[in-house]
Amino acid sequence: EAGVAQSPRYKIIEKRQSVAFWCNPISGHATLYWYQQILGQGPKLLIQFQNNGVVDDSQLPKDRFSAERLKGVDSTLKIQPAKLEDSAVYLCASSPAGEISQETQYFGPGTRLLVL
Amino acid sequence: EDQVTQSPEALRLQEGESSSLNCSYTVSGLRGLFWYRQDPGKGPEFLFTLYSAGEEKEKERLKATLTKKESFLHITAPKPEDSATYLCAVQPGSSNTGKLIFGQGTTLQVKP
């Protein structure tokens, strides 16, 4: 079974530029998550989708971050404009449909963003 | 406020030297506690889920336990390939979503 796919793996941009990340979850997984992991810290949830609807985006900086999950499969996360403090690893995770709570989340390899 | 604290931040062991990693949590109800392993440059890899106090789970040299306030990850006779960052995460009972709250991780180095 293929895992969670993410691209690009690395991205270097200058502040105030825009950037987009792509995620393809495990086949058949209805729930998709985007996390931000700053160096030396644990991942922090940015947004959670159930199929193509947003379940939780309470920690998403909506003035600069946006995300969508068209057709309930792939998802994109965009930052516009980027700030220096956005330098981090952006992790995508997915879990099967059903009882959202208590379900194991499976993570992709992440996209490493450096903002100069 | 829901919070997860892991200790120590870093741990160096000799091969074969057993030890334990701690995960203390403050959460409004607990739906589940998760342990993940993260290698440099990779995403977290799922290890265990624990749901209630007294529960234990094992996988090779790893054993996870859970009490009402903390969880331990015991590593028995570690090998160099066990070197990684170990992340603990909780799912609060106050949330009906799958939100995970992570600790900062413990970086384990096992020397041959």
Q: What is the mean pLDDT of chain B?
A: 94
| Mean pLDDT confidence for A76-90 | 97
Residue pLDDT, tens place only, A4-17: 999 999 999 999 99
- The 3-class SS string of chain A reads CCCCEEECCEEEECCCCCEEEEEECCCCCCEEEEEEECCCCCCEEEEEEECCEEEECCCCCCCCEEEECHHHCCEEEEECCCCHHHCEEEEEEEECCCCCCCCCCEECCCEEEEEC
Which residue of B85, B86, B99 to mutate against A (max A Cβ within 10 Å)?
B99
* Residue A60 confidence class, pLDDT cut points 50, 70, 90: very high
Q: Which range scores top for mean pLDDT: A33-42, A47-56, A93-102?
A: A33-42
| Mean pLDDT confidence for A44-58 | 92
* The pLDDT value given to residue A97: 64
Residues of A with CB under 8 A from a CB of B: 4, 31, 33, 40-45, 48, 55-56, 91, 93, 95, 100-110, 112
| Mean pLDDT confidence for B82-102 | 89
| Mean pLDDT confidence for B30-58 | 95
* The pLDDT value given to residue A51: 87
* The pLDDT value given to residue B94: 74
Nearest CA to CA, how far is B103 from chain A (Å)?
5
* The pLDDT value given to residue A41: 94
Contact across the interface for A91 and B42, Cβ inside 8 Å: no
Asked if A5 and A108 count as a contact pair (C-beta separation under 8 A), the reply is yes
Contact across the interface for B102 and A43, Cβ inside 8 Å: yes
* The pLDDT value given to residue A1: 66
Q: What is the mean pLDDT of chain A?
A: 92
Contact across the interface for A107 and B98, Cβ inside 8 Å: no
Name the token pair of A28: 């058949």
Name the token pair of A42: 């644990």
Name the token pair of B14: 């000799």
A/B interface, count of CB pairs below 8 Å: 69
| Mean pLDDT confidence for B58-67 | 96
CA of B56: how far to CAs of A34, A78, B48, B62, in Å? Answer: 29, 40, 9, 11
The residue of chain B nearest to residue A54, with distances taken between CA atoms, is: B97
Which residue of A59, A102, A111 to mutate against B (max B Cβ within 10 Å)?
A102
* The pLDDT value given to residue A99: 57
* The pLDDT value given to residue A2: 82
pLDDT beyond 70 at A78:
yes
Contact across the interface for B102 and A42, Cβ inside 8 Å: yes
pLDDT beyond 60 at A101:
no
* The pLDDT value given to residue B112: 95
Q: How far is Cα B16 from Cα A33, in angstroms, rounded to an integer? A: 37
